[in-house]
Amino acid sequence: MALVNTKKMFEMAYKNGYAIGAFNVNNMEITQGIIEAVAEEKAPLILQVSKGGREYASLSYLRAIIDVVVEENPDIPIAINLDHGDTFETCKQFVDAGFTSVMIDASSKPFEENIEITKQVVEYAHPRDVVVEAELGQLGGIEEEVVGVDDVDTHVADPEQVQEFVEKSGCDSLAIACGTSHGAYKFKTAPTLAFDVIEEIQKRLPGFPLVMHGSSSVLKEFVDLINKYGGQMPNAMGVPEEMVSRASKMGMCKVNIDTDLRLALTSKIRQVFAEIPSEFDPRKYLGPGREAIKEMVKHKLHVVGCAGKAAECR
């Protein structure tokens, strides 16, 4: 089937208590690992392109890879999303490039300015059948150029502000600050998510899809492999998967995963280089990395609950 936007996905996810996995793509191997997992698990899929991804591989290359994915998997509903678009002009470029979803992240702006910028994107995107994700509040950590706050527990979303923002901006989904954080070093102490805030927002905006950024769990098996084979990642900590699963049943209809993809790929490359120092064939170290991504994504699809849901999201 052709590319879809996320309307039907989120409708079914909210109704049936699961989330759609949204995975960032930066090259062919990462994308192949993701789609192989999704195809085997018969799950809906959101592929995302960030500013860093565009700078590394260029939009034209990434879009071509995604087009192959769509063509070769006609039974899988696939949406493509601009991740953390920082200006109206950037979002417009991606709408015009055929993306089915764009995220405008004006969360660093004052509240009213964030609303106005988001509304401007909405007014351009909606007539072209493109949905708009926005962001309100401040997450923690660092992801590429997105720098968050240090103390995520004191920067959770205000439900009253969320309601006003959605009603005035017209956005289709909203990334909220609920205690998550970007990157591999998300927390200094044991993480807690603001489930009470999520519940209150759900009461005020029934049926409205929320988005959880910074949702990688920084899986120990990959961190241990990286450290075993020369890496230096002490104290790496992510969002516990049981918290991700719980949030996925509470109207958190989209769960972003990027760091775990990077860790899976890097851990296997390091392992190959350490165990076979003479190896110089990229296929021999990128291949195991791709396989690790595939198995990790298959696992994540069950964590967020969207495995087996492709048919109902079409």
Q: What sign for the dihedral angle of Cα 46, 91, 71, 68?
A: negative
Instruction: Say how far apart CA 217 and CA 21 lie, in whole Å.
Output: 13
Instruction: Say how far apart CA 310 and CA 83 lie, in whole Å.
Output: 22
Q: Residue 1: helix, strand or coil by DSSP?
A: coil
158 counts as catalytic: no
- Secondary element (H or E) of residue 210: strand 210-212
Contacts of 106-111 with CB under 8 Å at 24 or more apart are 106/134, 106/135, 107/135, 107/136, 107/137, 107/138, 107/175, 111/161, 111/165
Q: DSSP H helical segments within 73-125, as ranges?
A: 88-96, 111-125
Round to the nearest angstrom and report the end-to-end CA distance of the chain: 9
Pair 32, 290: CB distance under 8 Å: yes
State the DSSP code for 25: -
Neighbour-count burial of 239, counting CB atoms closer than 10 A to its CB (0-12 exposed, 13-18 middle, 19+ buried): buried
Catalytic residue among 67, 75, 83, 86: 83
Question: Which sequence positions are flagged as catalytic?
Answer: 83
